[in-house]
Amino acid sequence: MIASSFAIPDVVTFVVAAALVIFGAIGVITVKNPVHSAISLIGTLIGVAIAFIEQDAQFLAAVQVIVYAGAIVVLFLFVIMFLGVDRKEDVSIEPLVHQRSWAAATVALTVASVIALMAKSHWATGAHRVTGNPGSGNTNVAHIGRTIFTTYLYAFEITAGLLIIAVVGAVVLARRSNQIAEENA
Amino acid sequence: MSLPIGWYLTLAAVLFGIGAFGLLTRRSALIMFMCIELMLNAVNLTFVTFSRSFSDIGGQAAVFFVMVVAAAEVTVGLGIVVSVFRRRQSTSVDELSELKG
């Protein structure tokens, strides 16, 4: 019934992307080894990238794969290896009593209410096309570029400062200061 | 490109829920950061879905900025994890309890 009302390639693409996203996410939170968690995270990120392409966000899909699945996951793996914490974490012990059941109940309630809200409400209330149509293919990249460099120019300039601050902060944090080195010696 | 937005929004809600559950239950700082990434990705997916639904590129621009902030957050966060690990030889957040009253 579903396949008859929508184009079959769209449905297949969505199912593949959803399976990647869900199983990857479950893998991240259930496996014991942090390295395997990071690998599962790549699956989720690729799945989200597929969903981006399916929705005409080609530029963001490319950035998702390059920045997230490339740089950020590699950063995670690098820190895991660097710290040598790739041993297994014991996930069978609950640090707080009934922590998991309370967390599961809260999360299930939240997700259920979001989905219920979604099913009940009417979306198309706001003004459409404030900054233009997303377009598809080549026009998507041109369009998002034009938007970021005009409407969101100040925000874009501030992200440059933010990234500089983050890099300097990471260097300062990770640097072994002389005082700590003397304490350890 | 004709699937209703509800499918994607439901997927994003479920992904956010999984990330939130992991953040609440796992005790390793590294895994908690990965769960935050999951939640950010769920929100990004919602942004892109509404961008398509409203034919407004602003949602995709917002995702672009979320990605920048996520990259900065991971950089600083992992720097903190590294410096905490130097002092404590552990990344478990349960052992960071000095501020407990």
**Interface residue of B75, B83, B96, B97 to substitute, partner A, most A CBs within 10 Å:** B75
Q: Specify the amino acid at residue A82.
A: F
pLDDT digits (tens, 9 = 90+) for B5-22: 888 999 999 999 999 999
Confidence of residue B2 (pLDDT cuts 50, 70, 90): low
Least confident of A9-13, A141-145, B36-40, B85-89: B85-89
Let me know if residue B98 belongs to a domain.
Answer: no
CB-based contact A60 B44, cutoff 8 Å: yes
CATH of domain A1-89: 1.20.120.1200
Judged by a CB distance cut-off of 8 A, whether residue B60 touches chain A is yes
What residue numbers bound the domain in which B76 lies? 5-90
Write the pLDDT tens digit of every residue in B57-99. 889 999 999 999 999 999 999 988 888 888 877 778 877 777 7
Residue of A nearest to B20 (CA): A107
Sign of CA dihedral B54, B56, B62, B67: positive
- Domain membership of residue B100 (yes or no) is no
Q: Which chain B residues are within 8 Å of A133, Cβ to Cβ? A: 55-57
Test mutation, A42, A55, A131, chain B, max B CBs within 10 A: A55
- The per-residue pLDDT for range A56-115, each reduced to its tens digit, is 889 999 999 999 888 899 999 998 888 876 666 666 666 677 888 888 999 999 999 988
B15 falls within a domain:
yes
pLDDT at A3 over 60: no
CATH of the domain at B16: 1.10.287.3510
Interacting residues of A65 by C-beta distance below 8 A, sequence separation 6+: A45, A46, A49
- Other CB atoms within a 10 A radius of the CB of residue B20 amount to 21
For residue A180, pLDDT beyond 70: no
Q: How many domains does chain B have?
A: 1
A159: closest CA of chain B, how far (Å): 7
| Inter-chain CB proximity B83 and A144 less than 8 Å | no
For residue B94, give the nearest of A95, A135, A162 by CB distance.
A95
In a domain, B101, yes or no: no
- Determine contact: B67 vs chain A, CB below 8 A: yes
Is B95 inside any structural domain? no
pLDDT, residue A89, reads 65
Q: Which residue has the higher pLDDT, B25 or B1?
A: B25
Domain membership of residue B40 (yes or no) is yes
- Give A-chain residues touching B69 at CB under 8 angstroms: 159, 162
Exposure of A55 in the CB half-sphere (CA atoms within 13 A):
33
A48, A135, A174: residue with CB nearest B41: A48
Which of residues A118 and A21 earns the better pLDDT score? A21
pTM metric for this prediction: 0.87
**Domain range annotation of chain A:** 1-89
Which of A88-92, B24-28, B37-41 has the highest mean predicted lDDT (pLDDT)?
A: B37-41
Mean pLDDT, rounded, for A45-52: 94
Residues A30/A31/A33/A37 CA torsion (nearest 10 deg) = -80
Radius of gyration of chain A (CA): 22
Let me know if residue B97 belongs to a domain: no
* B85 in a structural domain: yes
Q: Which of B25, B58, B85 sits opposite A99 (nearest CB)?
A: B25
Comparing CB atoms, the residue among B7, B31, B57 nearest residue A131 is: B57
